[in-house]
Structures are given as structure tokens and as C-alpha cells.
Amino acid sequence: MRALSLEPQPLPRLSIVALPGHGPEDVVADAAGNIWAGVADGRIFRISPDDTEGAAVTHVATTEHPPLGLHIARDGRVLICSRDKLLALDPASGKIEPVVTKVDGPPLIFCSNVTESMDGTIYFSESTARFPFEQFMAAILEGRPTGRVFRRDPDGTVTTIATGLAFTNGVTITADGSALIIAETVGRRVSRYALTGPAAGTLTPIVEEIPGMPDNISTGADGRIWITLASPRNALAEWLLPRSPAIRKVLWRLPDALLPGTDTDPWVIAVNPDTGDVLANITGKSRDLRTVTGVVESGGRLWMGCIGSSAVGHISLADIASSSSGP
């Protein structure tokens, strides 16, 4: 396992695609190169980039609650983590159907992110078992490791595969299908859950003590794992939190500007999924893309979603430092 070691590269030229809604937390790409994002009021948009700076933005469907994590399934449906449900959207009809609403009886509390393996097995995360999405800051400030990861088999069976995680967030399958990569926001850690081989079923940290709070993640074309860092670490909060529940309540009432992950510049890193070696570390100022929380490669670009602006953005993969090589 590694700590973050690569010096940051300044953010390359950033192109912005404005959306008619705030906070497109995650971004994913379909087989046709369209980008999908969902905003805070539940609307799901398909973004069809052209060969210039423009893009056509189409409203396809609306979920009851904010869409937090997205994934394009093998059958073309858009899988959506939306508060207390895992949903599936048919992009042709706009119809939304529930996939998972309960695990072992109790309902989901905070469905956060989702991915799928080549055999149709779905993996999804629950950030906390104590607080709903609307109280996400309470879960972060409390710091209790109650996050979980679930597996939904093609026959519909749902199994808990990991527990005791510190605000589980992004999940993605490695390019070779051998492991599930899991990000913990409060834990400031990214781990590898082995799916095959003698280590199958074990969870091993690959990057720890990240100086930022990881959010959604994705797998790049060369196998690297892209990780968004929604906020720099808050050393004062980390020192205070274990010491008194009363202090947590005080922090929860502080102005947003003093809390983690509320208004930050873009920051994404890439790591080797086997060794944790840092392959890219990109950050810089932007007034138009605040608090980046989603990332995906598509069409020679690195697309980013965020919770602090009404836009998604992209940079050219060719502009990322040439010294950053894949696994």
C-alpha cells in the first residue's frame, strides 16, 4: 500500500458543459460516447459531445431522489444509486425500475455508487448504515465505519461482501476483472477486494493516508483507477472528532465554508490497481467546476462531474503529464 507521493500537475485546459440543473455528482460514458449525469433535483441527462466545444444535453428521466452514483450496464441500462434505492433506467424509453431496495430485510439507507462485472454481477456501496443522504455531513463528522459493499448476482440474490468501512463511496471493477476497487471517503483510503484467485474475498488497502477525501472512481482504458478527491483532508476535524460527541454536534452547525468538501477546486488522481503507485495527480483553480466528485474517460477526454456547480467539465487525456504511465 502507498501514500500519495506524486507532485501535482496543474489542471490542463478545462472545457465546461453547462447543465440546466445543479450538482451532477457522477459522470459515466455509454458505448456510443454519450456522457450521462444526474443533478440534485433527480433529472438524468444524456450529453452528446460533438467535435467542437459544444454538446447536446437531453433530459431523459427523473428520479425521486438525487442520483449519486451511475454506471452503464452491459445491456445498456443506466444503473443509478439514488438515496435508498438502486435503480435501472432504460435509455430508450426513459422508464426507471427498482433493482435493489432492501438487503436482508431492512431498506437501504444511503446507496452511493455502483458498478458491474462482465458476467452481470452488480456491486454497489452504502456509505453509512446510520444516516440518509440528506444528513451526509453528519455521517462524515461522526466518522463511524458503518459503510458496506454489496453484491447482486444475476439471479437477484444480494450478499454483503464488506462491512466496517469509513463512508464507502466509489466502486469500480479492474480492467482484468480480478478485483473490485473501493473508495472510503472518511477513511481516506482506496482498497482492492479480490474477486478471483487464492485471495478472493479479501480486502487489501492499496492507497492510504490520501491527503484528500476520495469520492467516485472509475477504471481507465489502460487499467489505471481514476479517483476524485472532493476535499483536502481537514486535520482539525480529524483531531477533534474522536474526542467528544459534543464537538461533532458543534462542527455540524458550522458554516459550510468551514466543513470538508463544500467548495473546493478540481482534484483527481490515478493509481495502479495492483500496487497503488500514483500515476497522475491533477489539480488547479476553476470557478466553473467546484468540488469534483465524478470522473470517467471517454473519447480522448477525462470527464468530471461535481456537486458545487451546474456543469460538467473535461480535459484532454493527451494533456495529462506524459510521465504518468499506466499499470
Choose among 220, 143, 148, 135: nearest CA to 188.
143
The predicted pLDDT at position 248 comes to 59
Q: Is residue 3 part of a domain?
A: no
DSSP 83: B
The predicted pLDDT at position 233 comes to 83
Q: Is residue 314 part of a domain?
A: yes
The predicted pLDDT at position 1 comes to 47
The predicted pLDDT at position 144 comes to 81
Cα–Cα dist 188/180, whole Å: 17
Positions in the chain whose pLDDT score sits under 70:
1-6, 51-54, 133, 135-139, 234-262, 322-327
The predicted pLDDT at position 105 comes to 85
CB-based burial label for 207 (10 Å; 0-12, 13-18, 19+):
buried
Distances (CA, A) of 214 to 143, 206, 232, 270: 15, 13, 9, 11
Cβ count within 10 A of residue 177:
12
Q: Is residue 1 part of a domain?
A: no
The predicted pLDDT at position 251 comes to 59
Cβ count within 10 A of residue 73:
17
Q: Is residue 161 part of a domain?
A: yes
Report how many domains make up the chain.
1
Q: Is residue 2 part of a domain?
A: no
Q: Is residue 326 part of a domain?
A: no
The predicted pLDDT at position 324 comes to 45
DSSP 135: G
Supply the pTM of this predicted model: 0.91
Q: Are 65 and 82 in contact (CB under 8 A)?
A: yes
For 235, residues 6+ apart whose C-beta sits below 8 A from its C-beta are none
Q: Which residue(s) pair with 79 in the sheet?
A: 71, 88
Domain that holds residue 255: 9-319
Q: Is residue 155 part of a domain?
A: yes
The predicted pLDDT at position 129 comes to 86
Q: Is residue 104 part of a domain?
A: yes
For 69, residues 6+ apart whose C-beta sits below 8 A from its C-beta are 25, 26, 80, 81, 111, 112, 113, 114, 124, 125, 170, 171, 216
The predicted pLDDT at position 325 comes to 46
- CATH number of residue 254's parent domain: 2.120.10.30
* pLDDT digit string, tens, across residues 306-321: 999 999 999 999 999 7
* pLDDT digit string, tens, across residues 240-262: 666 655 555 555 565 555 555 56
* pLDDT digit string, tens, across residues 13-65: 999 999 999 999 999 999 999 999 999 999 999 999 875 456 899 999 999 99
